[in-house]
Structure 1
Amino acid sequence: MSISGIALWLACCCCAAQVNTAARPAVAAQPVIIDTDIGDDIDDALAVGLALSSPELHIVGITSAWGDTELRARLLDRLLSETGRSDIPVAVGIEKHGKGGGAFSQARWAQRQPPREHPKAVDFLLEQIRQRPGEITLISLGPMTNLGAALDRDPVTFKRLKRIVMMGGSVRRGYDDLGYLPTRGPEPEYNIAMDVEAAKKVFGSGVPLYVMPLDSTQLKLDDTKRELLFTRSTDLTDAIALLYLQWSRETKNQTPTMFDAVAVAYAIDPAVCPVEPLRLRIDDQGYTREEPGAANTFVCLRSDSDNFFSFYMPRLLEQKLQGSGSLLP
């Protein structure tokens, strides 16, 4: 795409965002807690960036999940500090490792942040639910170890969540099945397969579940969109650009898949990924099995890439410039 073409696309995005913003009625921001294994794949940072850019969400706190949760908490500390959001509490999750877990591709960026004490994720999660019963949306972007432990400790309190919006599962399509060829069928998805027992507990909890599986989340942040995003030079886009470069170098990948960002987008606006009721069961191998019977989840099985990025891109592109109170045109 030419420079003039990029400029035209950006102008259209920003105009659309202004129209959408004007059309949206003013509503109170919904309280959310984000549980994330940020630092492995880059999609967690892209998802948290969307949450930070969305006034519809009041981020009560962010909890680190899976693997080296202390280092993940430091990454979150640095990201929030560099974007002026140190007011958001960070809690450290249960450290648990599993076979085939992802590499911490953004560890060097996280290690530059001095360590500090954090509350424990399970304590934090349950305390926030007690303070806001029936109000909090939990956005789950990683293996559900923290969620399963919270259920074990205090199931009555956990079930007072308003809902859980998660990226997880593979219902009819697996990895790299983008719908262009006959489907190969589902396969175990990472967030489920890394802690199958925790996932089983969450799916059986009775909390309303809104599931964004591989079927609808394999949307690609292509080179044109990356150029727009990573040359915008806001506090947020600069931080994400550095995290992207570390991820790309460590994984030898160039194009991020927006798995987790779709879940955050749904929490903000369900029209981004419309859901349908399904009955799902997690089996012992980590498959997300469809079953007959009463629905226990709401699942997005298909999403529209153009619609998603028209929602996503303007929010991050309209962040304030570093050291400036003005917005880019």
Structure 2
Amino acid sequence: MTMFSNLARGMIAALALAFASAADLAQAADAHPERRKVIIDQDAFEGPGLQPILMLLQDPTVEVLGITTVSGDGWQPEETAATLRMLELVGRKDVPVVAGATFPLVNSQARNKAREAQYGKLPYKGAWMESWPSYNTIARRQPHEAHIVPPLPEGMPTTKPYPGSAAEFLLAQSRKYPGQITIIAMGPLTNLALAQRLDDGFAGRIKELVTEGGKLENGAMAAGPKDEFAMQLDYAPRMSFNHFWDPEASHIVFTSPWPRISLVTDDASADIIGTQALIDKVTAGSTPVARYMKQTAQANYPLWDETQAAAWLKPGIARRKGRLAMDVDLMPGANYGALLTWPAGQGPGLGERDVDVIYAVDKAGVEGLFVDLLSKP
């Protein structure tokens, strides 16, 4: 009987230990939840273009699997060098940087010039700019050929890009982590279109695509039902640089079967500016990020992509949202590359997707997150 009692007590103790261990593991899992997996696809040109990448890198809830570069605001080779150098300076060389598309699928500088000759000049053309207007107050690098990487003010990188192309990297990561990855696309969509054409299962393996661009509000578009005359204005085509740089790529992306696709509009970030006061707060410390920002940040640069990053990181920052069916105009003419929108579910049925749209955000919330993340040690 004594032997049985000792055995029973031993079994009870072992079970208690097992339950305690399980509880400890559960508590540890709650304390350290799995980080959200992200790939950043960005035309990261000059210092301000790298700030939204830094916000995502600095957030402890995010695991950046890699950064894929694509021409847009600048040429991909220079963007790749600038991104590598930024990671060196902030101590994040562990994050892969993968070179993506240098040129659009179909569009070109020659085609754009022909379009401008017939329909008028486009004020902003990204890497196709031939000169900067006199009213420009931001220090911009001089335009140059696509494959030239001029000396970077912050120094040239010593690290090299991850082997292979951005499309190959996107596909490999989507197969490794199906249903787990958010792609935050801050520039033109060429890399994503190439991945989708290489493997038509790509979009379906991505948890969510978050893109940026488009000035969609002609008044209070999301305020409620409209009559047909107001709707005719509200749903008219709009130009958006991230989409008209490579219209065919944008069309492929907007007609691909993503489980979810979101768009943070330029309306949302219209009055959110990286003021000197905000930059002073970020650069007051002595962290690697603060030192990098002190070297590269420029006051009064709009926080377009920073707003996109903030709206994904903290969904509560969104103040006005809607849902639209969306595609891109591929017809030659004045609206080539313009966003096309319809009420959700009421598009022409040519593959266009319904997109979750953010029209307005909490400005103070974006500014606060910008400072908090970039000030973190």
**Matches of 1:168 and 1:111 in 2, distance apart?**
31
Q: Is the 8 A contact 2:237 2:341 kept in 1?
A: no
**Matches of 1:173 and 1:39 in 2, distance apart?**
30
Secondary structure of the 1:214 match is: coil
**Matches of 2:205 and 2:103 in 1, distance apart?**
26
Secondary structure of the 2:85 match is: helix
Matched, 1:316 2:374: yes
Secondary structure of the 1:296 match is: strand
Which residue, out of 327, 344, 352, partners 1:281?
A: 327
What is the number of equivalent residue pairs in this alignment? Answer: 279
The CA deviation at 1:257 is: 0.7
**Matches of 2:62 and 2:341 in 1, distance apart?**
31
- Which position in structure 2 is the counterpart of 1:210? 262
Runs of at least 5 residues in structure 1 that lack an aligned partner in the other structure = 1-23, 175-182, 249-253, 321-329
State the Cα RMSD in Å: 2.6
Matched, 1:227 2:280: yes
The CA deviation at 1:315 is: 1.7
Matched, 1:292 2:343: yes
The CA deviation at 1:198 is: 0.6
Q: Which moved more, 1:125-134 or 1:224-233?
A: 224-233
Runs of at least 5 residues in structure 2 that lack an aligned partner in the other structure = 1-29, 110-124, 130-139, 143-149, 220-232, 331-335, 346-352
- Which position in structure 1 is the counterpart of 2:156? 112
Match runs of 1:62-211 below 5 Å:
62-66=67-71, 68-96=75-103, 98-99=108-109, 100-102=125-127, 105=141, 108-109=152-153, 112-114=156-158, 116-119=160-163, 120-172=165-217, 187-207=238-258, 208-211=260-263
Compared CA separation, residues 80 and 205, structure 1 to 2 (3 A): same
The CA deviation at 1:237 is: 2.1
Deviations 1:272-305 (CA, angstroms, capped at 9, x unpaired): 2253222222223222232134171100011121
Q: Which moved more, 1:266-275 or 1:137-146?
A: 266-275
Compared CA separation, residues 173 and 53, structure 1 to 2 (3 A): farther
- Which position in structure 2 is the counterpart of 1:264? 309
Compared CA separation, residues 223 and 111, structure 1 to 2 (3 A): closer
Report sequence identity in percent: 24
Deviations 1:127-181 (CA, angstroms, capped at 9, x unpaired): 000000111000001111111111111111232100101112222269xxxxxxx
The one-letter code sitting in structure 2 at the alignment partner of 1:37 is D
Q: Which runs of 4+ in 1 moved over 6 A?
A: 183-186
Larger radius of gyration: 2
- Which position in structure 1 is the counterpart of 2:9? none
Compared CA separation, residues 62 and 271, structure 1 to 2 (3 A): same
Deviations 1:48-71 (CA, angstroms, capped at 9, x unpaired): 110111011100000111153222
The one-letter code sitting in structure 1 at the alignment partner of 2:275 is D
Q: Which moved more, 1:95-104 or 1:295-304?
A: 95-104
The one-letter code sitting in structure 1 at the alignment partner of 2:202 is T
**Matches of 1:213 and 1:190 in 2, distance apart?**
12
**Matches of 1:273 and 1:43 in 2, distance apart?**
22
**Matches of 1:109 and 1:224 in 2, distance apart?**
23
**Matches of 1:211 and 1:144 in 2, distance apart?**
13
TM-score by length of 2: 0.68
The one-letter code sitting in structure 1 at the alignment partner of 2:369 is F
Secondary structure of the 2:263 match is: strand
Matched, 1:30 2:30: no
Q: Is the 8 A contact 1:173 1:186 kept in 2?
A: no
